[in-house]
Amino acid sequence: MAEITDLARPAGSPGPAAPPGPPPAIVPLAGLPIVGVALVLLVVAIAGNWLWALDFFHIVGGGLWTGVDLFVGLIIGPILGRLSVPARVEFAARFMPKMLLIMPTLVVMTLASGFQLARHLGVLDVAYPRHWWLTASFIVVGVMTVVALGFLEPANLAVLFELRKPAPDGALIGKLMRRFAYTAGITGLMQIATLVIMTRITTW
Amino acid sequence: MVDGAQRQLPPVTALAVAALIVVLAGGIDLAAHLPRPAPLGPPVAALAVAAVTVIAAAVTLARVRDFAWHTFFLVGGWALAAYLVIAGMLELVFVLDHTPGGLLAVLSLMLAVFAVDVPLLLAFSVARYQPGPAAGAAGAAGAGTAPPP
């Protein structure tokens, strides 16, 4: 880890008090019961056609998903890009394990409850050209899925594993973190399209 | 770096992302026809292309000898468990909605491709940067692992 710390330190200057350590776990195990409870409640809501619960899961999950994507992509991402490599590494070691648990849970909560909600409320039954709004929402979600699963999540995981090496490659971590920030920015912008589509659907 | 970053590997990421795009496009095509029954030709074609692409990615990767297979299976196993749960939840939604047989079969197979493709992608993305057996043997012989960047 020392060589990573050295990347951003001017020659001759004193080193930091404590270099950033590796993440204690790739997946924070303490969060798994919370995820389990959320998924069980989601299954119950879907199986029982519990409209209020479906609405709750869709609004809460979608709001948090959109908010986190926008905040990480448009606020945290650019800040992260200007930090030194050691600071990025230290941030990633604490931030990325949590994202690994939070984001898939929010996504599955939002999509599964949203589809059921649309079916119950008759939103899926509207004819074209209005149906294009729904089709557009499917396309936006599809693009976000490709970006998140194809580029963002692999970069996230690769950084976490690199950090656990005895001698992590600072340049590789920097490259993967840039990819993470760019792709988070893309999904953030896609979320703005989601906001436009969802508000249009709920007010037609 | 000798432990994977500069190693020549088959285009598993490109193939897995291509399969993901194709299978999602098939799913979007089906969803775009709701609530009317969708013609199954295009989604079945998309499913076949995606399945062949995933198999091609797996086969080309299986031929690589110097690869961090332990890490690959560690990440892939956990990711597979997670994505089977996600796919299972979506399958539950389709079953509870009384999705017709033919459509349900296509959607189920699409979910199966999705549930295998994403763990493959995640596992490869991590394992490609990890030292393979050759690098480990070199390290054990005193050559060290990776030079500082």
Tokens for B106? 């296509």
Residue B6 lies in a domain: no
d(C-alpha A124, C-alpha A111), whole Å: 14
Residue B136 lies in a domain: no
Top residue of A3, A26, A106, A169 to mutate, by most chain B CBs within 10 Å, is A169
In this prediction, the answer to ipTM > 0.90 reads: no
d(C-alpha B40, C-alpha A130), whole Å: 23
pLDDT of residue B30: 87
pLDDT of residue A23: 65
Test B27 with A161 for CB contact under 8 angstroms: no
Q: What is the DSSP string of A110-147?
A: HHHHHHHHHHHHTGGGPPTTTHHHHHHHHHHHHHHHHH
Residue-wise pLDDT for B15-50, tens only, equals: 999 999 999 999 899 888 877 778 899 999 999 999
* B18 contacts: CB under 8 Å, gap ≥ 6: B53
**Considering chain A, what is the average pLDDT of its residues?**
81
**Which one-letter amino acid corresponds to residue A14?**
P
Q: Choose among B139, B15, B141, B19: nearest CA to B68.
A: B139
B29 is in which domain, residue-wise?
A: 12-131
Number of Cβ within a 10 Å radius of residue A15: 11
**Which has more confidence, B61 or A89?**
B61
Helix (H, G, I), strand (E, B) or coil at B54: helix
Which pTM does this prediction carry? 0.81
Test B149 with A170 for CB contact under 8 angstroms: yes
Residue B139 lies in a domain: no
Residue B52 lies in a domain: yes
Tokens for A62? 């979608």
Identify whether the C-beta of residue B42 lies closer than 8 Å to the C-beta of residue B26: yes
Structural domains in chain B (count) = 1
Residue B95 lies in a domain: yes
Using beta carbons and an 8 Å cutoff, which residues of B are at the interface with A?
1, 5, 13, 16-17, 20-21, 24-25, 27-28, 31-32, 34-35, 71, 75, 78, 82, 85-86, 89-90, 92-93, 96-97, 118, 121-122, 125-126, 128-130, 145-146, 148-149
